[in-house]
Amino acid sequence: MTTTLAKAAGSVAAAAGPAPHLREDLLTPRFYTTEIAKAASTDLAGQRAAFEAMLAEMEADYNREHFDRKAPLDRLRELTAVQKEAYESYLVRSCVSEFSGFLLFKELSRRLFKASRPELGRLFQLMARDEARHAGFLNRALVAEGIEIDLPSLSGKRPITWFPLSWVLYSVFLSEKIGYWRYILIDRHLKAHPENSVAPLFDFFEPWCQDENRHGDIFNMLIRCWPELRQGLRGRLLSRFFLWSVFLTHSLTVCERGSFYTLLGIDPARFDAEVMRQTNRTARRAFPYVFTFEGTRYVQLRDQLVDTFRQMQALGEQPATPGRFLKNLGLKLRFAGLLVHQFCQPMEATGVQLEGIA
């Protein structure tokens, strides 16, 4: 029988409640929904050849044998309490994010079949299959740690966030590609430094990241079905907002949870910068504009944002006094100023907005 999260977390932590990294509010997957009728009206005519090739690739299911349900996922060595929490937090967050992708793709698939778009429904069904495998594998690594998350029951409590279709296309493309770069960069690092691989889970990352890469390519094809999304001010704003917000979330998460990367012998700030650079470069194939990293202050502002964020967190743990209030206000204003400054950093046109225009 599946243990409930509260029970499982309770077994890990004291009776006072689950450990901070196992709190239910962090675990509950966000559920996203979108303009289904609009999604169902996607015109594949101009992308038919690319669509058929991608559907065939997804049907071929290259990773069918890869996610072996019997492969042992027990950790290879003892960790300190801090390292153990870092590893478990990583597993929890990754598992929840994979499961959240599964929920989105499954729901889109179901609704697209219903809207008489079986070929699109099938494509989303196959992406949901991959995400379910990924979440299941991470879940097994958590079970090896003695933690059981009842994902289906958590998904019943999900808050639903509605996004316009354009937001879903831009943000999912980026989250698939950033996922690809995260997995492949960890894989490359651990192949060069196998002594830092603390768990067999990491041996599975290479073919795994190819799933994410394919999903990203599918979303690029879907963006191409809506040429107006890449043109004019709209294309410029969508590119800027989603690249900036996805990179900011990545920077704050990686730098705040740096102990996981340190455990693997990776410098968190350098890893974050490399993931951003590579994802930004990949986005050149899909978005009309990308950030310019060379010769701009983008990464420098990232350092200042992370530093201010850390100071805000440290201050939050101090007793409430008028002095703390004023200092907190100062830090918040500084943080807001840095956000605006980073958001406005220079971008360059990629040329994709001109595709399809005679």
| Contact indicator for 302, 273 with CB cutoff of 8 Å | yes
Q: CB nearer to Fe ion: give 132 or 254.
A: 132
Residues 149-188 contacting Fe ion, CB under 5 A: 176
Q: CB nearer to Fe ion: give 108 or 305.
A: 108
Instruction: State yes or no: residue 133 binds Fe ion (CB under 5 A).
Output: no
Residue 344 is given by DSSP the state T
Residue 23 is given by DSSP the state -
Instruction: State yes or no: residue 217 binds Fe ion (CB under 5 A).
Output: no
Residues 224-283 contacting Fe ion, CB under 5 A: none
Residues 279-308 contacting Fe ion, CB under 5 A: none
What's the closest the beta carbon of residue 217 comes to Fe ion, in angstroms? 11
In whole angstroms, what is the distance from residue 196 CA to residue 257 CA? 17
Judged by CB under 5 A, how many residues of this single chain contact Fe ion?
Answer: 6
Q: CB nearer to Fe ion: give 187 or 212.
A: 212
| Contact indicator for 159, 28 with CB cutoff of 8 Å | yes
What's the closest the beta carbon of residue 212 comes to Fe ion, in angstroms? 4
What would the two tokens of residue 137 be?
């594998």
Q: CB nearer to Fe ion: give 85 or 131.
A: 131
Instruction: State yes or no: residue 98 binds Fe ion (CB under 5 A).
Output: yes
Measured CA to CA in angstroms, residue 89 lies from 23, 142, 143 at distances of 10, 10, 13
Q: CB nearer to Fe ion: give 145 or 212.
A: 212
Map residue 348 onto helix, strand or coil.
strand
| Given 215, 224, 240, 250, the residue binding Fe ion (CB under 5 A) | 215
Q: CB nearer to Fe ion: give 88 or 176.
A: 176
Q: Could you tell me which stretch among 6-14, 59-67, 85-93, 209-217 binds Fe ion (CB under 5 A)?
A: 209-217
What's the closest the beta carbon of residue 325 comes to Fe ion, in angstroms? 43
What's the closest the beta carbon of residue 273 comes to Fe ion, in angstroms? 23
Q: What are all long-range contacts of 262-265, with beta carbons under 8 Å and residues at least 24 apart? A: 262/86, 263/79, 263/83, 263/86, 263/87, 263/196, 263/198, 264/186, 264/189, 264/190, 264/196, 264/197, 264/198, 264/202, 265/189, 265/193, 265/196
Q: CB nearer to Fe ion: give 106 or 240.
A: 106
In whole angstroms, what is the distance from residue 284 CA to residue 48 CA? 22
Cβ-based neighbour number of residue 256 at 10 Å: 13
Q: Could you tell me which stretch among 126-134, 144-152, 192-200, 326-334 binds Fe ion (CB under 5 A)?
A: 126-134
From the list 238, 245, 336, the residue with the least C-alpha distance to 289 is: 238
Instruction: State yes or no: residue 212 binds Fe ion (CB under 5 A).
Output: yes
What's the closest the beta carbon of residue 358 comes to Fe ion, in angstroms? 35
Instruction: State yes or no: residue 189 binds Fe ion (CB under 5 A).
Output: no
What's the closest the beta carbon of residue 12 comes to Fe ion, in angstroms? 25
Q: Is 322 exposed, middle or buried (0-12, 13-18, 19+ CB in 10 A)?
A: exposed
In whole angstroms, what is the distance from residue 167 CA to residue 172 CA? 8
Residues contacting 269, CB < 8 A, separation 6+:
254, 255, 258, 303, 306
Q: CB nearer to Fe ion: give 182 or 240.
A: 182
Q: CB nearer to Fe ion: give 58 or 331.
A: 58
Q: Could you tell me which stretch among 75-83, 114-122, 127-135, 296-304 binds Fe ion (CB under 5 A)?
A: 127-135
Instruction: State yes or no: residue 134 binds Fe ion (CB under 5 A).
Output: yes
Cα angle 16, 19, 25 (rounded to 5 degrees) comes to 100
Residues that bind Fe ion (CB under 5 A): 98, 131, 134, 176, 212, 215
